[in-house]
Structure 1
Amino acid sequence: MNFRPSGAVDRLVAAALVLAFALAGWKISQRTPASPLTVPLSGPVAPVAKPPSQQLSPDGRFRFDAQFVSSSPGQAVHAASMVELNDGRLRAVWFSGSREGAGDVTIQTAVMDPASLRWGAESTLFDRNKLQQGLWRYVKKLGNPVIARAPDGALWLWMVNVSLGGWAGSSITWARSADEGFTWSAPHRLVTSPFLNISTLVKAAPVNFENGETGLPVYHEFVTKFGEVLRINSAGQVIDKVRIPGSRGSLQPVVLVSASEKAQIYMRAGNATALMASHTTDAGKTWAPTQVTAWPNPDSAVGGAVTNAGTQWLALNPAPRNREVLALLQTAAGGSFDGATPWLVESSANPQVRTSLTEYERLLSQELKARGAREDEVQAYVASARRQLCGDQSCSQEFSYPYLLQSRDGYLHLVYTWHRTRIKHVRLDPLQNLQAAQAAPGHAPASK
């Protein structure tokens, strides 16, 4: 016989649902007031003298230093982030393996000496086995790592990992270091939801609140994409989260703080149309509905930083269809990037046309050799790039997934994925006088 609930059971279920919604509403209304955001120190810091080895940007407007960070030939590398250490060195982290999503992917790190600008040999921080042992659960693959300074002076490291399915089934694991990244605590799961705790990913730098809490921008990919900001206490626990309204289809949010109560957020467009933006005027307790900016976004990540002088910077791929152009934008605190003239960092000769296989190999080999790679290393790097970015006859050049920070000496540092085979580091003086722009490939229009 078929069981049919009685009217009394129906009323009981309805009452339970009403009570659950009422409790949820009460919990939201009882949120503690948002602590003011930590604002970068005001006043410019003069950079140290520039070494003579600087190169000219593709558009001839500025100069910068460039070095490769990663040092393992033949690997697929991606999603770098970095932090300044107490002694002035930089520590970068990224993921590396035979391909993105493979079981052999590891979280790698290297440290740069600011005097020589040279990066040391890379080493492994975490792999699948280490996470499995620490979490007591199966780990299928690893992804984006983000390293940052905690308000108490320690280092945070957040990592994306998946136990079942693809990236939509991912969660975030974190660890802390009290010795500048030489050793790390056991890994812990970041609990972002009581239901399954999946589909939360990280890519961008956190922001800090004056009360010692951390705001971590994250995003979701299960069923639909959207961005939100987690509020994390000093013990690594999520105590609140706020979804960015109207951010459906957007991901990988970057937060730029302009005042103690004000910040802007910029997001990658999963629908491959334009860079998306929102803002807050109450220290992140609420965010304005997401708006479209004037900059195209080819479904690619952006990076951001706020300098000590209050200038806001974005790093992005400003072309509508691919990642063959990488540029920087700047604006005043809380200003708009619409109409900004890009600082062109790297570009293919013709971003609208795929590069022939022969020319692609020549271009990569030329730069790798110029930066000290041996012939066997060059062959391994090129083979890795071909495997990921080439068809039978042509290739797509790629300069993607940028990450920005300013060091205490005033320099702006950019790390990004170079042809999916190396992590590249660019250092520039953000206060340098710009030259008149020359004709350059991939110069995107400043507005629609």
Structure 2
Amino acid sequence: MASPLIFLLFSFACGQSFDGVVRPTSDGRAEAYMIPPFKSNHASFLEKLPNGGLVMAWFSGATEGADNVSIVVAHLPPNSTQWSKASVVAQRSGYSNQNPVLFYRNATGILYLFHSQQKAKVPPSEDSANVWTRLSYTMGMNWTDEVDVFTKPGSFDRNRIIERLNGDILVPMYFAHGGSEDQFSAMQTKSVNEKDWHEHDVKKSNYLVQPSVIRPKPGVKQLTAYFRDRRHEHIYMSTSTDDGDTWTEPKKTKLPNNNSGIQANVLNYTSGNVVLCFNPTNEVRNPMTIGLSEDGGNSWAYQRNLEYKKESVGVMGVEYSYPSVLQTSDGYIHVSYTYNRETIKYMRFHEDWIKQK
């Protein structure tokens, strides 16, 4: 694999500095391009830490599905403008890692890393995947050995883990067992002390994967899940009124989906509104957009592009995809996403920025 220095030199030649420095922009945001450990970088995930810092994970390697593709982790310390160089935390010969999900659990003081892993093959063979986890008692600086959590072949994670009101955790999952029609979603729950997981079906979720689950109102059992559509048509939505035990049949929203990743979050530190990052198309992964809902995630009155290259629509190699989004107590909304597979782009802004256009 090529060294990070090569990618830094390439980034300067292209007009971006892949150096992890957070720089202000002219329109009120701040942004950074992560230092890419290896050639191909994809599927980032952001989590906030109790000290006020951020941690980001993604997968990096020769290309998706290739041998030794690794999960890497970088940090943004509190009040800092410099993301750290990413360190490799999961790598296995003969296998390819993907879809890291970070989860800091207040009840245990532990940072969890879930990720899928499959036999190395290009293009990837999804039906060989299962899900592993690692624990960090040092906020991501050191990690335990990985443990195989979901051994059923074709198991994948992707989006944010949430805590149920009874203290259990809920892990949104999807399963790939062949063609798109045979892919579907389910929710896995477990308490702190239990060893076994409990699976909760999402009926008629064929073609619908990578659910992103939110709790629109704090302390209320109602949950909402948004789904990626393998048919390149719409984002779908399902709800639960019993804190994730049962789910309604998913219904299509008015938002398009291009069979690419999405992620939602609730702005609990400010307005309580819902944000959703997605590609507003049925085809290419350009632009990357953030939507803002003022009615709990049912409609999206505001949408603003985070990244858009009009002259590059449909051009091979141009890709802004697989977003992660959260809010911190200072009111900032933080987003990361794949930037042309060359690196991961990070940005932050306030809610009003979404409404300005």
Shorter chain as normaliser: what TM range?
0.7 to 0.9
2:209 counterpart residue number: 251
Q: What is the CA distance between 1:277 and its match in structure 2?
A: 1.0
Look up the match of 1:445: none
Deviation of 1:164 after TM superposition, in Å, equals 7.9
Query: Residue by residue, what CA displacement relative to the aligned partner does 1:85-127 show, whole Å, maximum 9, x if unpaired?
Result: 2221111111100111111211111111342322111111111
Determine if the alignment matches structure 1 residue 199 to structure 2 residue 154.
Answer: yes
One of 170, 173, 197 as aligned partner of 2:129:
170
Matched with 2:99 is: 144
Whether contact under 8 Å (2:51, 2:78) holds in the other structure is: no
- Residue 102 of structure 2 aligns to a residue whose secondary structure is strand
Number of the residue aligned with 1:264: 224
Percentage identity across paired residues of the two chains:
24
The runs of 5 or more residues in structure 2 that have no matched partner are 1-21
- TM-score, structure 1 normalization: 0.69
| 1:42-71 CA-partner distances (Å, limit 9, x unpaired) | xxxxxxxxx993333xxxxxx311101233
Hey, what's the Cα distance between the residues in 2 that align with 1:103 and 1:335? 39
Cα-to-partner distance string for 1:154-202 (whole Å, 9 max, x where unaligned):
111101012487122210001111111111122111146xxxx211101
**Residues 64, 179 of structure 1: alpha-carbon distance in 2 compared, 3 angstrom cutoff:** same
What's the offset of the Cα at 1:212?
A: 2.3
Higher mean displacement: 150-159 or 278-287: 150-159
C-alpha separation in 2, matches of 1:303 and 1:244: 18
Structure 1: gaps spanning 5 or more residues: 1-50, 57-62, 130-138, 355-394, 438-448
Could you tell me which of 330, 341, 344 is aligned with 2:305?
Answer: 344
Paired residue total: 325
Give 1:408 deviation, angstroms: 2.0
Show the counterpart of 1:160.
116
Match of 1:294 in 2: 254
Which stretch shows the higher mean deviation, 115-124 or 260-269? 115-124
Matched, 1:85 2:85: no
Q: Deviations over 1:393-430 (max 9, x none)?
A: xx341100001111121111001000011011010111
Query: In the alignment, what sits opposite 1:413?
Result: 334
Say if 2:290 and 2:354, in contact at 8 Å, map to a contact too: no
- The structure that has the greater radius of gyration is 1
Q: Which amino acid is the alignment partner of residue 159 of structure 2?
A: A
Residue 52 and residue 102 in structure 1: after superposition, are their counterparts in 2 closer, same or farther (change >3 A)?
closer
Checking the alignment, whether the CA contact within 8 Å between 2:208 and 2:227 is kept in structure 1 is: yes
Runs of 4+ in 1 over 4 A off after TM superposition: none
Whether the 8 Å contact between 1:68 and 1:119 is mirrored in structure 2 is no
What is the alpha-carbon distance in structure 2 between the residues aligned to residue 168 and residue 417 of structure 1? 24
Match of 1:312 among 255, 263, 274: 274
* 1:61-80 correspondence to structure 2 within 5 Å: 63-72=28-37, 75-80=39-44
Of Structure 1 and Structure 2, which has the larger fraction of its residues in helix?
Answer: 1
The partner residue of 1:277 within 220, 227, 237 is: 237
Which residue of 1 is the match for residue 175 of structure 2?
A: 220
| Secondary structure, aligned partner of 1:93 | strand
Measured on the aligned residues, the alpha-carbon RMSD in Å equals: 2.1
* 1:30-49 aligned within 5 A: none
Matched, 1:402 2:323: yes
AA of the residue aligned to 2:302: T
CA distance in 1: counterparts of 2:314 and 2:132, whole angstroms:
40
Cα distance between partner residues in 2 of 1:412 and 1:141: 31
The letter for the 1-side match of 2:82 is: R
| Conserved? CA contact 1:264–1:334, under 8 Å | no
Larger RCO of the pair (alpha carbons < 8 Å, separation 6+) = 1
Which AA in structure 1 matches 2:307?
E
| 2:85 pairs with 1:121 | yes
**CA separation in 2, counterparts of 1:324 and 1:123?**
29
Structure with the bigger percentage of strand: 2
2:70 is aligned to 106
Superposed displacement of residue 232, structure 1: 2.2
* Distance in 2 (alpha carbons) for counterparts of 1:281 and 1:316: 25
Q: Is the 8 A contact 2:289 2:305 kept in 1?
A: yes
* Contact 1:306/1:312 (8 A) holds in 2: yes
Counterpart Cα distance in 1 of 2:32 and 2:227: 28
Equivalent residue for 1:321, pick from 264, 283, 300: 283
8 Å CA contact 2:131, 2:156 repeated in 1: yes
Cα separation, 2, equivalents of 1:237 and 1:69: 37
Q: Which residue of 1 aligns with 2:7?
A: none
